[in-house]
Amino acid sequence: MKIEKYILNHQRDLQGKKYLVTGANSGIGYEATRILTEYGAQVTMACRSKERAQKAREEIISLNPQANLEVVEYDQASRQKIDALVLKLKQNKAFFDGIVFNAGIYHPSANLKTAEGYPLTMGVNFIGLFYFISKLNESGILKSEKSVRLVFVGSLIWWNTKVPTQLDKESLNRLSLQKQYNISKTMIGRLTYQLMKNRKLNDGSALPNNCQVFLMHPGVSATGIVNSKSKGFSESFSRAAHRFLYIFVHHPRKACLGIIESLISEENDSNYIFVPRGPFHISGFPKKIKYPHNLKKDDQHLLNWAQTIIR
């Protein structure tokens, strides 16, 4: 199998390395977790559902009995859950060689909102992410004498997406679910560029110098896009759609390889991002490209807006 050959050929000895992966119980988060444990790393799986995370953990251990895995509760839609995880990590004096910010949602039910009144897609994919990275930074968890790699997961959708100047609740709630997703993923790309460029989260806070910031997008993977129960599709449609999608897009085990490269590549120039090497970056093994022009914006207003929301 070509994927397994690639994974074997790019293997690194990660014994003693520790990583945290959000959204690790399914899709590319699950596969990235699995590969990291195959390389010998210890992985903390930060997931919204502890039940599903425990099941995923057991599946990985059944495939690799030596896998070193921990499950923690993490819900990117809940500031209370984020605060609880950050406090737990701080109390345990946790250190990670890398953190993968993978958690996100694609197509939640219409009209769902955060406690603050923002559409759930924006609240999870960007606002919750910004809150989490801000709290990790404030807690001192990211500061160390060792290098820490922060890997953000974007989307190829950002090539043709404009971020509106009006980011108030009313304007965002009028957007379609697809548009909300497109904008939230583009904002992740722009946030990552700002962190790479000047390290500032806001005027009074910046990432410590030991942090290296990376961005990747996985192309298109069939897992999770047309799920039945969580996305409102019938089970028969979901099964048929998955079979159809796998003809044209790639498996999460291949889609996650840009995450792995971001964490372990010796060529750690963060002016580049990892994307699939195939046509239109839809599928394929990872390659490096320069930051997309659409993401290289001076978005201080974006950071100011996000910081205002999380206060």
pLDDT digits (tens, 9 = 90+) for 135-183: 999 999 999 999 999 999 999 998 889 998 888 888 998 999 999 999 9
pLDDT exceeds cutoff 60 at 232? no
Quote the pLDDT of residue 73.
97
Q: Any idea which fold 2-310 has? A: Rossmann fold (3.40.50)
pLDDT exceeds cutoff 90 at 253? yes
pLDDT exceeds cutoff 70 at 225? no
What are the tokens at 257? Answer: 């390889």
Q: What is the mean pLDDT of residues 283-297?
A: 91
For 288, phi then psi, to 5°, come to -100, 140
* CB 288, CB 272: distance < 8 Å: yes
* CB 211, CB 148: distance < 8 Å: yes
The runs of H, that is alpha helices, within the chain are 2-9, 27-38, 50-63, 79-91, 120-122, 129-139, 169-173, 177-198, 235-248, 252-255, 257-264, 300-310
102: confidence class by pLDDT, cuts 50, 70, 90: very high
State the chain's mean pLDDT as an integer: 89
pLDDT digits (tens, 9 = 90+) for 22-74: 999 999 999 999 999 999 999 999 999 999 999 999 999 999 999 999 999 99
CB-count burial class (<10 Å; 0-12, 13-18, 19+) for 202? middle
Quote the pLDDT of residue 240.
55
SS3 assignment, position 8: helix
In DSSP terms, 152 is beta-bridged to 101, 215
Percent of the chain with pLDDT over 70: 90
The pTM of the full predicted model, rounded to 2 decimals, is 0.92
* pLDDT: which is higher, 225 or 34: 34
Quote the pLDDT of residue 204.
72
